[in-house]
């Protein structure tokens, strides 16, 4: 796992794939079967998902939280836990004001799986290397303190895999264990991205090539309202 | 991240630290600041947290699920989501019957943080290398499909770190971002452990030495009932 440093400040309309490839450069050229993990924030910036807010009012983005949500699940003080249009359950509909100008709030990409697909297609096309892309964001969880990075969107990698669905050492056939590898990969990447003071891109090399394949986070990971026991 | 293969079938009373060191052997001798991630299942086995159940009745461990729980939060069909005595929220109080004999159910360790401390103390004492230990288990989550590995217990590593609590690129002071690094490390280790057909130990090398320090999962990560918005 390698953090990719040297990405410039990303602006709306920027060619993010090009910037990533430039930052990888000759230091860490992408190879086939690399997984490129990109932070939601730079994707939102490149896609222009930025809204002007009152820089002097720390609550001025709250109306956006509601307009980006399909359901408000919980409120406590300033904290609003919502279900977004994509189906993610997170704080403030994923909107935040860090790493943007004081008068800007960054919204989540409209379709993070599509964002991942576009990045993957552009990188694969320009390098000739088949890569997978994960768009990662930082979410809290119920039950446990602290945040972890999870996958908002992905392309080129199967999000949920049965890593252990074989008879176990006792010859007993295991219950199927469907592991959400894209969330584990996003969290792993955060460890090297965060370490390097918020570097927005990391490359994970050496994953099993059999993990590459079709799938999306909204299709394969996001639980529907009716399937969920805690909403 | 390296999976440690060659661990024998662990029995109650086994010296797990010794078995891990033997399996690392000369192939991957532990170094200072390595993080050793160990699956809950082998810890439970070594600690004798095994209960006899009717091998012909797939539901015969269900009374244990209730006796190990302080609260039953949800039920759906055979699935019972409980809060355990430790405060974890998980399926079946963390009890499972995979990778054990057909007439055995494995319970969670009584105190996984203490289990981690014992392993860490034994490994550090015998090798002279300061290591951290994480006891990892596989939990489902609300909102998202698929399971991921999380930390049940830890020793020698600070569980929750402020990786990004510095002014951001815009000079704006960020909200504190408390990252649960032990969960991200457990998930990362799962990617190499699961890949190698359920290897119970992995070593993560190269983490920032500043991450080493005191703390526990039950003290720093587990949210109390009253602090939680979704119980």
**Given this model, what pLDDT does residue A186 score?**
98
CB contact under 8 A, B170 and A207: no
CB contact under 8 A, B179 and A148: yes
- Under CATH, domain A50-108 is a member of which superfamily? CofE-like domain (3.90.1660.10)
Number of alpha carbons in the 13 Å side-chain half-sphere of residue B102: 9
pLDDT tens-digit map of B173-205: 555 689 999 999 999 999 998 755 669 999 999
Q: Give the three-class secondary structure for A17.
A: helix
Full-model pTM: 0.95
**Given this model, what pLDDT does residue A219 score?**
97
CB contact under 8 A, A180 and B74: no
Contacts of A25 (CB under 8 A, 6+ apart): A6
**Given this model, what pLDDT does residue B162 score?**
80
> Which ipTM score applies to this complex?
0.94
- For residues B2 and B192, the answer to whether their CB atoms sit within 8 Å is yes
Count of C-beta atoms within a 10 Å radius of residue A185: 29
- Give the residue from A106, A144, A202 with the most B CB atoms within 10 Å of its CB, the best one to mutate: A144
Domain with CATH 3.90.1660.10 in chain B: 50-108
Mark B7-25 as b/e (b = at least 16 C-beta within 10 Å): beebeeebebbebbbebbe
CB contact under 8 A, B144 and A190: no
Phi–psi pair at A99, nearest 5 degrees: 55, 25
- Over 60: is that where the pLDDT of B53 sits? yes
Mark A187-204 as b/e (b = at least 16 C-beta within 10 Å): bbbbbbbbbeebbbbbbb
Q: Compute the distance between CA of residue B70 and CA of residue B86 in angstroms, rounded to an integer.
A: 9
Give B55→chain A minimum CA distance, Å: 11
Q: Compute the distance between CA of residue B5 and CA of residue B203 in angstroms, rounded to an integer.
A: 11
Which DSSP helix (H) or strand (E) runs through A22?
A: helix A16-24
Tell me the CA end-to-end span of chain B in Å, nearest whole number.
Answer: 35
Q: Compute the distance between CA of residue A220 and CA of residue A44 in angstroms, rounded to an integer.
A: 22
Which DSSP helix (H) or strand (E) runs through B138?
A: strand B132-139
Which residues in chain A land under pLDDT 70? Answer: 163-176, 195-198
**Given this model, what pLDDT does residue B170 score?**
58
| Tokens at A142, concatenated | 């119920």
**Given this model, what pLDDT does residue B17 score?**
98
Q: Compute the distance between CA of residue B38 and CA of residue B13 in angstroms, rounded to an integer.
A: 16
Contacts of A191 in chain B (CB under 8 A): 181, 184-185, 188, 207
Q: Compute the distance between CA of residue A228 and CA of residue A215 in angstroms, rounded to an integer.
A: 21
CB contact under 8 A, A181 and B170: no
Among candidates A47, A76, A82, A77, which has minimal Cα distance to A64? Answer: A82
**Given this model, what pLDDT does residue B171 score?**
58
Contacts of A63 (CB under 8 A, 6+ apart): none
- Give the residue from B104, B145, B157, B224 with the most A CB atoms within 10 Å of its CB, the best one to mutate: B145
- For residues A149 and A134, the answer to whether their CB atoms sit within 8 Å is no
At residue B27 the predicted structure's pLDDT band, cuts being 50, 70 and 90, is confident
Domain with CATH 3.30.1330.100 in chain A: 2-47+109-222
**Given this model, what pLDDT does residue A194 score?**
78
**Given this model, what pLDDT does residue B87 score?**
97
Q: Radius of gyration (Cα) for chain B, nearest Å?
A: 18
Q: Compute the distance between CA of residue B140 and CA of residue B155 in angstroms, rounded to an integer.
A: 23
| Tokens at B170, concatenated | 């815009």
**Given this model, what pLDDT does residue B152 score?**
98
CB contact under 8 A, B9 and A98: no
Mean pLDDT of B73-92: 95
Contacts of B208 in chain A (CB under 8 A): 195
Chain centroid to CA B71: how far?
21
Q: Give the three-class secondary structure for A157.
A: strand
pLDDT tens-digit map of B117-130: 999 999 999 999 99
Q: Compute the distance between CA of residue A119 and CA of residue A104 in angstroms, rounded to an integer.
A: 24
Q: Compute the distance between CA of residue A154 and CA of residue A219 in angstroms, rounded to an integer.
A: 10
Q: Which residue of A has its CA nearest to B98?
A: A174
CB contact under 8 A, A223 and B144: yes
Q: Which residue of B has its CA nearest to A102?
A: B172
CATH of B2-47+109-222, one of 3.50.50.60, 3.40.50.300, 3.30.1330.100, 3.40.50.2300: 3.30.1330.100
- For residues B105 and B64, the answer to whether their CB atoms sit within 8 Å is yes
CB contact under 8 A, B184 and A191: yes
CB contact under 8 A, A146 and B100: no
Contacts of A27 (CB under 8 A, 6+ apart): none
Mean pLDDT of B3-23: 95
| Tokens at B133, concatenated | 């230990």
- For residues A221 and A178, the answer to whether their CB atoms sit within 8 Å is no
Contacts of A190 in chain B (CB under 8 A): 163, 179, 184
**Given this model, what pLDDT does residue B26 score?**
83
CB contact under 8 A, B163 and A194: yes
- For residues A184 and B190, the answer to whether their CB atoms sit within 8 Å is yes
Give the residue with greater pLDDT, B194 vs B231: B231
Chain centroid to CA A7: how far?
18
- Distances, alpha carbon A63 to alpha carbons A93, A181, A227, B5, in Å: 11, 34, 28, 53
Residue in the block written with tokens 């060619």:
A15
Contacts of B158 in chain A (CB under 8 A): none
Contacts of B169 in chain A (CB under 8 A): 9, 99, 198
- In order, the DSSP letters of A28-66 are S---TT-EEEEEHHHHHHHTT-EEE--TT-TTTTHHHHH
**Given this model, what pLDDT does residue B107 score?**
98
């Amino acid at each position: 796992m390698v953090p990719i440093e040297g990405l410039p400040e990303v602006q709306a309309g920027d060619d993010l794939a090009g910037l990533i490839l430039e930052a990888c450069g000759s230091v860490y050229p992408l190879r086939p079967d690399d997984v490129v993990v990109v932070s939601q924030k730079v994707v939102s910036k490149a896609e222009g998902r930025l809204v002007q807010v009152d820089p002097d009012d720390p609550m001025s983005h709250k109306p956006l939280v509601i307009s980006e949500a399909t359901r408000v699940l919980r409120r406590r003080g300033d904290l609003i836990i919502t279900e977004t249009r994509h189906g993610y359950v997170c704080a403030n509909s994923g909107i935040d004001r860090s790493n943007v100008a004081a008068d800007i709030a960054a919204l989540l990409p409209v379709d993070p799986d599509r964002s991942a697909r576009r990045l993957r297609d552009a990188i694969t096309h320009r390098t000739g290397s088949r890569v997978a892309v994960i768009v990662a964001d930082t979410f809290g969880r119920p039950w446990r303190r602290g945040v972890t990075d999870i996958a908002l969107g992905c392309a080129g990698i199967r999000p949920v895999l049965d890593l252990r669905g074989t008879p176990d050492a006792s010859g007993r056939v295991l219950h199927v264990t469907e592991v959400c590898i894209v969330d584990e990969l996003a969290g792993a990447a955060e460890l090297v991205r965060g370490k390097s003071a918020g570097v927005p891109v990391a490359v994970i090399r050496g994953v099993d090539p059999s993990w590459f394949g079709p799938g999306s986070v909204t299709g394969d990971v996001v639980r529907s309202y009716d399937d969920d026991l805690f909403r």
